[in-house]
Amino acid sequence: MSSTAKMLLYRQIIPTEGRVSEGLPTYAVNSRGSSQLTLDFTGKPRNGNGFRDPAFADNKTQPLHRWVPWIAGFSAQFVQDCFETFLKNHRRKSAPRVLDPFAGVGTTLVQAVLNGFDSIGFEINPYAALACKAKLNSGKLDVETLASYVLKYKRVATNGRRHVATVRPAEFETRIPFFSLSVEEQVLTFLDFVESIPRPDIADLFRVAFGSVMVSFSNYTYEPSLGSRPGAGKPLIDRADVHSTILTKLSEIVSDIRWVKERVGSRPAEGKAQIHNLDFLDSTNVLASSSIDLMVTSPPYMNNYHYVRNTRPQLFWLSLISSPKELRKLEEANFGKYWQTVRDSKPLTLNFEHTELAHTLVKLRQTREEKGPYGGPGWANYVTTYFNDCSRFFSVLKRVLVRGGVGVIVIGNSIIQGHEIKTDLILADIARQSGLSLLAVQPLRTKRVGASITSSAVRRGNKSKATLYESAVIIRKK
Ligand SMILES: C[S@@+](CC[C@H](N)C(=O)[O-])C[C@H]1O[C@@H](n2cnc3c(N)ncnc32)[C@H](O)[C@@H]1O
């Protein structure tokens, strides 16, 4: 599709109907409410003052950002564009303070550090939080010491040493063996080596390297949800060179840290960064009121992508959790929860007013009603929980932004049991109800990947003509 055609499509998607469109500019205005943004929907470097393609795919080639793949994030360039748009007129003496309440593997926070800004993030998933922390700490790390440990590990790998201490996580259960025996032997040898590293910051980098590649030599695969290789039509992996795969990732990490040091080292001040492995909606004790100049974030989409289940291998094998009970606690605290977590509850209700959404929920509840938790009633509970969390999110955001502070929320629409839900427009409404000003709902791109619910709805014969798209909802505290 040509970029002109895409632009037309976007204009249809952000229509002049519904509540947010009243008084809303077609294109975003900047934080001072004046100039227009020029958009380039093709993902090429932009001309003028606009956002580049927000897809995380770009991060796969960027230093630091490329360490760990993560679903439904945005790119470092997108974050940079937000900084350039909304922080260029920052006039206070101190560095601006940036927040990402759903930090993932740290795209926003890393980019803030590279710009010399202070930043704070929250991430409920211990594996993503570990990756984020390791990236943020890497600027202070002695890279030669790290390189010497990589060399030591290489020797262990070439000597063919066998593991002695580490055992496989007892409560990590899978339908088929996660690793073949010969692969597992190498994995345990690696984990033994990590245990012997006395420096926690260096051990963390080794663990991140392992977490990033471990599924590639397992009998499971991301499609994008985690499933067995035979289930995806792929052969089992009997033998693999585990050590070489980890070493390749480690050498990428070493070379990126050298790059960061050169870049940050040449600047007088480095931004102070914090990542909290906590539920953002429970952040009162660590996040002061009126302390954030800019928030750039992408919350979990309402597509039931199960971050917790999909990172079970990393969570168990890196000893970040040790039992299914801990896994369930994470599922409960996850923003919007999961369909699996709320489908069996009694019918849930919205805790804020929204006529159109309430109407959609009634229709959704009546869709395949006879299937109960697996039909409309179960999915309506999920949608209700999701938007109730969005409403809680905006009250916290309003508290923590400085007056005039801006929030950019990247979000996609959803198609659930054949019903399209324009999450961006509803979020914009909730933000306004929470007392925040809406600057824009900015179209970003169409044909998002990872549409698990769309495909399941289609499989069940309930086709929707809607297209998946992503937008940035941009708000400001009055
Ligand atoms: C779309 S991803 C964000 C990706 C991020 N922008 C990046 O580039 O890595 C959403 C993240 O929110 C996290 N999350 C879910 N519930 C949360 C909560 N209550 N508090 C903090 N983080 C949460 C998920 O674990 C997931 O990593």
Q: How far is the CA of 300 from the centre of ligand 1 (A)?
A: 6
Q: Is 393 in the pocket of ligand 1 (CB under 6 A)?
A: no
Nearest CA to ligand 1 atom 3: 104
- Does residue 70 have its Cβ closer than 6 Å to ligand 1? yes
Our answer on whether the CB atom of 280 is closer than 6 Å to any ligand 1 atom is: yes
Question: How many other CB atoms are found less than 10 A from the CB of residue 205?
Answer: 28
pLDDT number for residue 361: 97
Give the helix/strand (H/E) hosting 440.
Answer: strand 436-446
- Ligand 1 atom with minimal separation from the 107 CA: 8
Distances (CA, A) of 135 to 81, 192, 209, 366, 422: 21, 23, 11, 47, 34
- H or E element, residue 475: strand 469-477
> How far apart are the CA of 260 and the centre of ligand 1, in A?
24
What's the pLDDT score for residue 268?
53
Beta strand pairing call for 97-100 and 118-122? parallel
Residue 460 carries which side chain, given as an amino acid letter?
Answer: R
Whether 10 is in the pocket of ligand 1, judged by its Cβ within 6 Å, is no
Indicate whether residue 281 lines ligand 1 (CB < 6 A): yes
Question: Among the atoms of ligand 1, which is closest to the Cα of residue 334?
Answer: 16
Query: What is the homologous superfamily of the domain 3-140+261-477 according to CATH?
Result: Vaccinia Virus protein VP39 (3.40.50.150)
Ligand 1 atom with least separation from CA of 279: 20
**Pocket perturbation via mutation, ligand 1, pick of 66, 279, 295, 334 by most ligand atoms within 8 A of CB:** 334
Ligand 1 near 271 CB (within 6 A) = no
CB-ligand 1 contact for 105 (6 Å cutoff): yes
Q: Which atom of ligand 1 is nearest to the CA of 72?
A: 1
Cβ 122 under 6 angstroms from ligand 1:
yes
Residue 183: per-residue pLDDT = 96
Write the DSSP assignment of 143-195 as a string of letters: HHHHHHHHHHHHHHHHHT----S----TT---SS-SS-HHHHHHHHHHHHHHH
CA–centroid distance, residue 9 to ligand 1 (Å) = 29
Q: How far, in Å, from the CA of 371 to the mean position of ligand 1?
A: 31
Sequence ranges of the domains in the chain: 3-140+261-477
Q: Which whole-number Å values give the CA distances from 365 to 217, 240, 362, in the listed order?
A: 42, 48, 5
User: Tokens 């990172």 belong to which residue?
Assistant: 311
10-residue averages of pLDDT along the chain (478 residues): 32 33 36 31 37 63 87 83 90 86 96 92 98 92 95 90 81 96 95 95 97 98 94 97 97 94 67 93 95 97 92 97 95 94 96 96 97 96 98 98 96 95 97 97 77 45 73 96
Nearest to 192 by CA among 159, 156, 217, 219: 156
pLDDT of residue 31: 31
Nearest CA owner, ligand 1 atom 21:
123
C-beta 102 within 6 A of ligand 1: yes
| Distance from the Cα of residue 247 to its chain's centroid | 26
What is the 75 CA–ligand 1 centroid distance (Å)? 14
Distance 98 CA to ligand 1 centre (A): 16
Q: What's the CA-to-centroid distance between 344 and ligand 1, angstroms?
A: 24
Interval between CA 34 and ligand 1 midpoint (Å)? 32
Assess whether the C-beta atom of 335 lies below 6 angstroms from ligand 1.
Answer: yes
Ligand 1 atom nearest to CA at 106: 9
* Residue 333 in contact with ligand 1 by CB distance below 6 A: yes
Nearest CA to ligand 1 atom 18: 279
Place of tokens 């790119």: 75
Closest to 297 measured CA to CA, from 337, 264, 335 = 335
**How high is the pLDDT of residue 105?**
95
User: Is 254 within 8 Å of 146 (Cβ atoms)?
Assistant: yes
- Determine the residue of 77, 123, 444 to mutate for testing ligand 1's pocket, defined as the one with the most ligand atoms within 8 A of the Cβ atom: 123
How remote is the CA of residue 30 from the centroid of ligand 1, in Å? 26
72: left (phi over 0), alpha (psi -120 to 50) or beta: left
Beta-bridged to residue 227, according to DSSP, are: 221
Give, in order, the Cα–Cα distances in Å from 469 to each of 58, 304, 437, 438, 445: 18, 16, 23, 20, 6
Ligand 1 centre distance from Cα of residue 100 (Å)? 9
- Ligand 1 atom showing the smallest separation from residue 59 Cα: 8
Residue type, 438: L
Environment class of 8 (CB within 10 Å of its CB; exposed 0-12, middle 13-18, buried 19+) = exposed
How far does the centroid of ligand 1 lie from the alpha carbon of residue 231, in Å? 27
Strands 292-297 and 97-100: parallel
Residue 448 confidence (pLDDT): 62
Instruction: Tell me which residue has tokens 């909730």.
Output: 430
How far is Cα 124 from Cα 276, in angstroms, rounded to an integer? 8
Report which of 212, 205, 66 is spatially closest to residue 148, judged by C-alpha positions.
205
